[in-house]
Chain A
Amino acid sequence: EVQLVESGGGLVQPGGSLRLSCAASGFTFSSSWMHWVRQAPGKGLVWVSCINTDGSTINYADSVKGRFTISRDNAKNTLYLQMNSLRVDDTAVYYCVSDGSHGEFDSWGQGTLVAVSS
């Protein structure tokens, strides 16, 4: 069974930093593209970033480019999201998601809440 377990969320002040982690199990993590998707309270889903199997190809949504950094450690089966210069509008539940075969988001973690507020 695929399991994706996020951690690292919490309350942070505007301008601050957080690092999210996602522990993966139940599938071959090193063979899967991975993503972060977020959802602001009461709002819809927004793709944030993706990384290929060996970390050599990375893409970001324009809204986080230059502030967020995605990375992975295949030896530890773990995905990361370093979030710097956080803004109030970054407040959301952040989901770790595995990539499917046709551009879809195959399996989802339970999410971790990031709240940016003074």
Chain B
Amino acid sequence: EIVLTQSPGTLSLSPGERATLSCRASESPTSSYLAWYQQKPGQAPRLLIYGASSRATGIPDRFSGSGSGTDFTLTISRLEPEDFAVYYCQQYNWSPPRYTFGQGTNLEIK
């Protein structure tokens, strides 16, 4: 079973600071099929990044994704108040199709 491990579990930062969130896979996703989501309390998740580094429609350019192989990073260049939320990474592997989420990183206001 593929496991995604996100770190840190909780990240405490202030608005204006840079956030770096990590996602490590136990094996490489198919063709870097790695995505990131943002979830606020009481809301459904929202897709931020797909294919490890492509921003989804309407996502501000302060959000960026990078990485390959088994190590991936979500970077928020300058935190806005609305960015404080839980972030999940997710990978896809074919044969058989399996979709796995990390356990989440809680980005909280310091």
Chain A residues in the interface with B (C-beta under 8 A): 35, 44-47, 50, 59, 95, 100-111
Contact = CB atoms under 8 A, between A and B. Distances in A.
A108 B101 contact: no
B88 A105 contact: no
A44 B47 contact: no
B35 A103 contact: yes
Given A50-B97, A111-B44, A105 B103 contact: no
Contacts of B92: 102-104
B10 interface: no
A103 B99 contact: yes
Contact of B50 (A44, A102, A110): A102
18 contacts: A44-B88, A45-B39, A45-B45, A46-B101, A47-B98, A47-B99, A50-B97, A50-B99, A59-B96, A95-B44, A100-B47, A100-B50, A103-B91, A103-B92, A104-B92, A106-B56, A108-B45, A109-B44
Interface in B78-101: 88, 90-92, 96-101
A44 B104 contact: yes
A95 B102 CA distance: 17
Interface residues of B, number: 28
B97 to A, nearest CB: 5
A111 B43 CA distance: 9
Contacts of A46: 101
A44 B103 contact: yes
B46 interface: yes
A65 to B, nearest CB: 11
A83 B33 CA distance: 29
A102 B49 CA distance: 10
| B44, B51, B103: most-surrounded residue (chain A CB, <10 A) | B44
A108 B44 contact: yes
